[in-house]
Amino acid sequence: MNHSSVPERSPAPPLCKRFQSGRRRVLEAVSTGVAAVAAVAHGLALASAQGTNAAARAAGGEPLTVAAYPALDRILKGLEPDWSARPGAAPIRLVSRSFGDHHSAITAALATRKGLPDLMAVEFGYLARFAGSGALADLAPLLGADGAIDDLIVPYAASQARFGGRLLALPTDIGPGVTFYRDDLLKRADVSPERFLESWESFVDSGRRIRESTGARLIGHARDLKDAIIRSGIQAGDGLYFDAQGRPALTSDRFERAFRLAAAARAADLDARVPAWSNDWSEGLRRGGIACQLTGAWFGGHLANWLAPGTTGKWRSALLPGGAMTAWGGSFFAVPAGSSRKAEALAFLKMLALDPVRQIDAFRRHDAFPALLAAHDDPFFAEPLAFFGGQPARLLWRDVARRITPISVHRLDPLAEEIVNVELDRVLLRGKPVRQALADAQSILERRVARAAR
């Protein structure tokens, strides 16, 4: 600020002039200040950028941006030391957000084609939507010999990663669907596991006996039962809510059976009416108020480690009722087509998805069930699990994973799920007839499909 540059005024000017003069001085001072601040800020920014670049260069180059959600972020963090030890490996910049925020951020980045990471996690439910963006790279040619993943990855997961013949993602962990049940409660109710899991109908019947004998409820929510049944008996190529041609399939026998049995379970007070992951649900699992959970095999680790560690030895795992083979969720990783770091991203992804040692490590530490077939031969699978009364449950989960029929995913699956859940609520709470509810759900979904197909 240079006050001496302002010429002296004499004699004293009139008030308005004095004001103008004063204002000018202020403006001059401010403008000089702004210029100075801008210069300093510019200098700092340059220095900072140079510092960052220097640090990045020192650490092996520009960071490779990897975006994920919990608990995949912890798996990725665990990989960093091994990755950094590779000669010339770029540092990893891990962007971790909550599950919903992560997918919203990816959606926004896809919308603008700006700010996409070099490698990004995609949950199974979002895969079809993101695959339809045209912004994901075909990994098959980039992977070279590893591009033929059908021999490397669990078949159903490998199939789910392909869209129109292009491999748009690599599965890292999967969720083969199984039953987790309280063996002690079944024994008290004098229900044999064979009878319990013979069919969906016997499952609900057994729930009545468990409720009468022990007071425990069969499942957390009737919705869980519906979710399990609609996953049973899907023909290869069909989806959960759509057939192979992409038409809504909500009036099929699968849905009718699911709705009827869910309504029967509710009518007999067999569900605790608590959604999964709520406080009441976890307390129900801890205190023996809920006898069973139908979900992905990854749930076993959560149950043993933090949900109900005090119930060691009381739980068992088995096939889904009626021997249904299906899956719950799964994590995939994709590389944006526009990324200039595809080769490095692929190298990191191969380490994550195609290295049996690291896949087993992720399973051991983070309950991420490996999608890689080579990892399935590890002795870790045959270990008896104290939490499951010494049962080598991982062998069962592995068997299920290999036998699951691939189903197709549709970009309107999240909407279809909501439509089905709303109609099920109306059946359970308002007594709406099942067929009417399914017909309404079909009609709503058809309207949405027609809108999306314009």
- Residues in contact with another protein by CB under 8 A are 1-2, 5, 20, 23-24, 27-28, 30-32, 35, 100, 104, 107-108, 110-113, 129-130, 132-135, 273-275, 278-280, 283-284, 289, 411-412, 414-415, 418, 422, 425-426, 429-430, 444, 451, 454
By C-beta, is 205 or 423 nearer to another protein? 423
Measured from the CB atom, is 157 or 445 closer to another protein?
Answer: 445
The secondary structure of the chain in percent helix, strand, coil, rounded to multiples of 5, reads 55, 15, 30
H or E stretch including 181? strand 170-182
CA distance 405 to 199: 19
134 or 379: CB nearest another protein = 134
Q: Which of 320, 297, 221, 216 is nearest to 265 (CA)?
A: 221
Question: What H or E segment, with its residue span, contains residue 305?
Answer: none
CA end-to-end distance (rounded Å), the chain: 64
Token pair in block for residue 58: 């020192």
Determine the Cα–Cα distance for residues 143 and 385; give it in Å rounded to an integer.
36
Least distance in angstroms from the C-beta of 279 to another protein: 5
Residues near 123 by Cβ (< 8 Å), separated by ≥ 6? Answer: 69, 99, 103, 329, 330, 331, 332
Taking the complex as a whole, the smallest distance from the CB of residue 110 to another protein amounts, in Å, to 4
Q: Which run of H or E residues covers position 242?
A: none
Min dist CB 415 to another protein, Å, is: 4
* Nearest-approach distance from CB 11 to another protein, in angstroms: 23
The H or E element containing residue 2 is none
Q: Which is nearer to another protein, 357 or 422 (CB)?
A: 422
C-beta of 251 vs 421, nearer to another protein: 421
- Indicate the residue among 311 and 405 with the shorter CB distance to another protein: 311
DSSP secondary-structure letter at 390? T
Q: How far is the CB of 194 from another protein (least distance, A)?
A: 32
Residue position matching structure tokens 């399914």: 438
Contact criterion met (CB below 8 Å) for 176 and 397: yes
Q: Closest separation between CB of residue 77 and another protein, Å?
A: 26
Q: Whole-number minimum distance, CB 428 to another protein, in Å?
A: 9
Are the C-beta atoms of 246 and 453 separated by less than 8 Å? Answer: no
Q: Which residues contact 291 (CB under 8 A, 6 or more apart)?
A: 181, 182, 185, 186, 207, 210, 214, 216, 217, 218, 219
Q: How far is the CB of 131 from another protein (least distance, A)?
A: 9
149 or 270: CB nearest another protein:
270
Specify the residue, 36 or 386, whose C-beta has the smaller distance to another protein.
36
Distance CA(383)–CA(2), nearest Å, equals 79
Closest CB 105 distance from another protein, rounded Å: 11
Nearer to another protein, 232 or 442 (CB): 442
Which position has the token pair 């990897």?
66
Please say which residue, 33 or 323, places its beta carbon nearer to another protein.
33
**Least distance to another protein, CB of residue 41, Å:** 14
Question: DSSP string spanning 124-178?
Answer: HHHHHHHHTTT-B--HHHHHGGGG-GGGTB-HHHHHHTEETTEE--EEEEEEEEE
Quote the CA–CA distance of 156 and 174 in Å, as a whole number: 10
